Structure 1
Amino acid sequence: MATQNFTLDDLKRILLEGAGAGEGAGLDGDILDTGFEELGYESLALLETGGRIEREYDIELDDSALTEAATPRELIEIVNFHLGAVARAA
C-alpha cells in the first residue's frame, strides 16, 4: 500500500474550503513557517480544518495537536505522521 502524503497545497485547499481566505497574509508564497494567526486563521477555523482532513483522509487527529500546530509546516507534519501510522497498520 502506497503512503499518501499531505502537502501544503492540500492544506491550502482545505483551509479555503472550510474557513475561506484568512484576513492576514493570505496563502500565497512561502507560508510553511508563518503562524496560522498571522495568516488569519484562529483555533475554530483550525478545528474545522482538522475535521475536514479527518474525513477526507480517513484519519483521527487529536484536538490538542490541531490547536498546538502553530504553522502550516507543523500541521502538515502531524497529518503525515497519522497517515504513516495508518499505512503501517494496514
Structure 2
Amino acid sequence: MVTDVFTLDELKRILLEAAGADEQVDLDGDILDTEFQDLGYESLALLETSSRIERRYGISLDDEAVSDALTPRALIAVVNARLTAVRA
C-alpha cells in the first residue's frame, strides 16, 4: 500500500528490489546519514531506485535533486517534499 509519507523502510525495500544489497552492509543499522556510495549503491542503482519510486508513488523526481541526495535521509526528504507538493 502506498502512503502519503515515504519512509526509510520503504526506501530500503525499493533499494533491495532495484539493486540488491552489499553483503557487508547492514541496512537494518543506522543508515540515515550514511552516504549511498558507502552503502554500496552507485548512481545507476539510485537511478533505478528513483524510477521505481516515481512509478510507485505517481510522482516525478528532479534528476538533480536525486543526484544531490547523497544519503537516505536526503533522498527521503526529496521524495516527501515532492509528495507534499503533489498532494497539496
The worse-fitting range, judged by mean Cα deviation, of 13-22 and 70-79 is 13-22
Aligned to 1:65: 65
- Alignment partners' CA distance in 2, 1:79 and 1:49: 12
The secondary structure found in structure 2 opposite 1:6 is coil
Can you list the C-alpha shifts for 1:7-43, whole angstroms capped at 9, x where unaligned?
0000000000011113552312110000000000001
Residues 36 and 23 (structure 1), Cα distance of their counterparts in 2 relative to 1, 3 Å cut: farther
5 Å-filtered alignment, 1:27-66, equals 27-66=27-66
The secondary structure found in structure 2 opposite 1:21 is coil
Displacement after TM superposition at 1:67 (Å) = 1.1
Across the aligned residues of Structure 1 and Structure 2, the Cα RMSD in angstroms comes to 1.3
How many residue pairs are counted as aligned between the two chains?
A: 86
In structure 1, what residue type is equivalent to 2:32? L
In structure 2, what residue type is equivalent to 1:7? T
Question: Does structure 2 conserve the Cα–Cα contact (< 8 Å) formed by 1:54 and 1:60?
Answer: yes
The secondary structure found in structure 2 opposite 1:33 is coil
Unaligned 5+ segments in structure 1 are none
Question: Does structure 2 conserve the Cα–Cα contact (< 8 Å) formed by 1:23 and 1:40?
Answer: no
Deviation >3 Å, runs of 4+: none
The secondary structure found in structure 2 opposite 1:11 is helix
Unaligned 5+ segments in structure 2 are none
Displacement after TM superposition at 1:63 (Å) = 1.1
- Alignment partners' CA distance in 1, 2:53 and 2:22: 18
- Alignment partners' CA distance in 1, 2:51 and 2:23: 21
Aligned to 2:75: 75
The secondary structure found in structure 2 opposite 1:22 is coil
